[in-house]
Structure 1
């Protein structure tokens, strides 16, 4: 297990993570640090616990919004895939009908 020191709102914290996940954890820590610093700028110094809580709630809100947008996009994708399948079937039937007509004309 890897040990990292991350900074959040100017304070160091020692955290552990699985080997190979260090870069990912550092990026998450930077994201959280930006959120906490923004809360601190907007609301003043509240103490680490309240700053962290507000930062976590704001990130959870962003995550909820992203999940909702993803759900809408997935529903739209499913609709488009269904439409595509219907159009593909219609096209195949039209090609089949055209081929039969051509065969009929050639046979005459």
Structure 2
């Protein structure tokens, strides 16, 4: 079992951990050290146990706040996922049918357009 030396609040500690967890321990110790150092700056020298207790409580408070935010984000994500699934399944989507124009109407409109162009050319020819 590896031994890791960590520093918290200016004090060194030797801590054992599982093989491969050394980096996690160092990261956690660094987080605790930030809180302990902040406490030492604000309050001054205090007993080791009190410093560790206060730093742990500060981290626990921060963690609880983050867990609340995660729960809120998960709730919003679930709501958005439900909306997405409803939209994909066609729920709540109004179907709009576009009418198809009969070919006779299209032919008539093309004929009217050709006549309008011919008239426009005739008018342009007279004014020139």
Q: Comparing both structures, which one devotes a greater share of its residues to helix?
A: 1
State the partner residue of 1:51: 51
User: Is residue 2:39 matched to residue 1:39?
Assistant: yes
CA distance in 2 between partners of 1:42 and 1:2 (Å): 34
TM-score, normalization by structure 1: 0.81
State the partner residue of 1:69: 69
Partner of 1:90, secondary structure, is coil
State the partner residue of 1:82: 82
CA distance in 1 between partners of 2:58 and 2:80 (Å): 33
Deviation at 1:90, TM superposition (A): 1.3
State the partner residue of 2:114: none
Aligned residues: 99
Deviation at 1:77, TM superposition (A): 0.3
State the partner residue of 2:112: none
Consecutive unaligned residues of structure 2, counting only runs of 5 or more, are 103-128
Deviation at 1:94, TM superposition (A): 7.0
TM-score, normalization by structure 2: 0.69
Consecutive unaligned residues of structure 1, counting only runs of 5 or more, are none
Runs of 4+ with >4 A deviation: none
Higher alpha-carbon Rg:
2
